[in-house]
Amino acid sequence: MTDGTRRSVVPGLIFITLGIIFLLNNFGAIDFEWDNFWAYIILLVGIIFWIGFLADRSKYGLIMPGTIFLVVGFMFIYCARYGWDEMEQIWPFFLLAPALGMFGMYLLGKHDRGLLIPAFILSALGIIFLLQSYYWLRYLWPVALIAIGASMLISKKSKDEQI
pLDDT over threshold 60, residue 2: no
For residue 136, name the pLDDT band (cuts at 50, 70, 90).
Answer: low
Give the largest CA-CA distance in the chain.
Answer: 70
Give percent of the chain with pLDDT exceeding 70: 85
CA 16 to chain centre: 23
Q: Which residue has the higher pLDDT, 37 or 4?
A: 37
Q: Please answer whether residues 103 and 119 qualify as being in contact, where contact means their C-beta atoms are separated by less than 8 angstroms.
A: yes
What per-residue confidence (pLDDT) applies to 112?
92
3-class secondary structure, 109: coil
Residues 21 and 29: their CA atoms lie apart, in Å, by 9
| Average pLDDT for the chain | 85
Neighbours of 144 (CB within 10 A): 11
Residue 7, burial from CB neighbour count under 10 angstroms (0-12, 13-18, 19+): exposed
pLDDT value of residue 78: 92
**If DSSP codes are grouped into helix, strand and coil, which group holds residue 28?**
coil
What are phi and psi for residue 33, nearest 5 degrees?
-115, 145
Model pLDDT for residues 39-80, shown as the tens digit of each residue: 888 998 999 999 999 999 999 999 999 999 999 999 999 998
- Name the more confident of 155 and 108: 108
Give the pTM. 0.69
